[in-house]
Structure 1
Amino acid sequence: MSNVDLIIEERAADIGNFMVGRLLPFRKKRMVGPFIYIDHMGPVKLNERQNFDVLPHPHIGLSTLTFLFEGSIMHRDTIGNEEEIKPGAVNWMTAGKGIVHSERTPEYLRDSDLFMHGLQIWVALPKDKEQMEPQFSHIEKSEIPAWSEGDVDFKLVAGEALGRKSPVPVFSKLFMIEIKSKSEQTLKIGDQLYGESGLYILEGSIKEGGHEYGEKQILVAKDSTLCEFTISANSTVYIFGGEPFPEKRYIDWNFVSSDKELIEEAKKKWEDQSFGKIEGDEEYIPYPTRK
Structure 2
Amino acid sequence: MKKRTSFSTQGHRADIGDLTINRILPNRYADAVGPFVFLDHIVPKHQPAVMDSGTGAHPHRGIATLSYIIEGEDEHFDSAGNYAKVHSGGVQWMKAGHGIVHDETLNVDSHTETNRTHAFQFWINLPSKNKAESPAYLAIPGNEVPSKGLPNNGGWIKVIVGDYENLRSAIPNYSIQFLYHINLEPDKDFTISMKENIEVAAFLPTKNAMLNGAGFKAGEFVEFDRDAGEITIGNKLQGAIDVILFGGEPYTEPIVAEGPFVMNSRSEIAEAYRDFYSGKYGKINYQKLA
Which stretch has the larger CA shift, 92-101 or 82-91? Answer: 82-91
Matches within 5 A, 1:220-231: 220-223=223-226, 225-231=228-234
Residue 246 (1) aligns with residue 249 (2): no
Q: CA 1:210/1:140 → structure 2, altered by over 3 Å: closer, same or farther?
A: closer
Identify the match of residue 265 of structure 2 among 259, 263, 268. Answer: 259
User: Is the 8 Å Cα contact of residues 160 and 180 (structure 2) preserved in structure 1?
Assistant: yes
Structure 2 residue runs of 5 or longer lacking an equivalent are none
Could you tell me which residue of structure 1 aligns to residue 162 of structure 2?
159
Which stretch has the larger CA shift, 198-207 or 89-98? Answer: 198-207
User: Is the 8 Å Cα contact of residues 200 and 219 (structure 1) preserved in structure 2?
Assistant: yes
Could you tell me which residue of structure 1 aligns to residue 68 of structure 2?
67
Could you tell me which residue of structure 2 aligns to residue 204 of structure 1?
207
Q: State how far apart, in whole Å, the 2-side matches of 1:230 and 1:113 are.
A: 29
Could you tell me which residue of structure 2 aligns to residue 86 of structure 1?
87
Identify the match of residue 179 of structure 2 among 163, 176, 180. Answer: 176
User: Is the 8 Å Cα contact of residues 160 and 175 (structure 1) preserved in structure 2?
Assistant: yes
| Sequence identity (%) | 26
User: Is the 8 Å Cα contact of residues 49 and 108 (structure 2) preserved in structure 1?
Assistant: no
TM-score normalized by structure 2? Answer: 0.88
| CA displacement, residues 104-148 of structure 1 (integer Å, 9 cap, x when unaligned) | 257996xx9842210000000012111110000112222222111
Q: State how far apart, in whole Å, the 1-side matches of 2:213 and 2:79 are.
A: 50
Could you tell me which residue of structure 2 aligns to residue 186 of structure 1?
189
Q: Helix, strand or coil for the counterpart of 1:189?
A: strand
Q: CA 1:46/1:17 → structure 2, altered by over 3 Å: closer, same or farther?
A: closer
TM-score normalized by structure 1? Answer: 0.87
User: Is the 8 Å Cα contact of residues 198 and 218 (structure 1) preserved in structure 2?
Assistant: yes
| CA displacement, residues 179-207 of structure 1 (integer Å, 9 cap, x when unaligned) | 11112223321246861100111232222
Query: Over aligned residue pairs, what C-alpha RMSD do you find?
Result: 2.4
Could you tell me which residue of structure 2 aligns to residue 136 of structure 1?
137
User: Is the 8 Å Cα contact of residues 106 and 117 (structure 2) preserved in structure 1?
Assistant: no
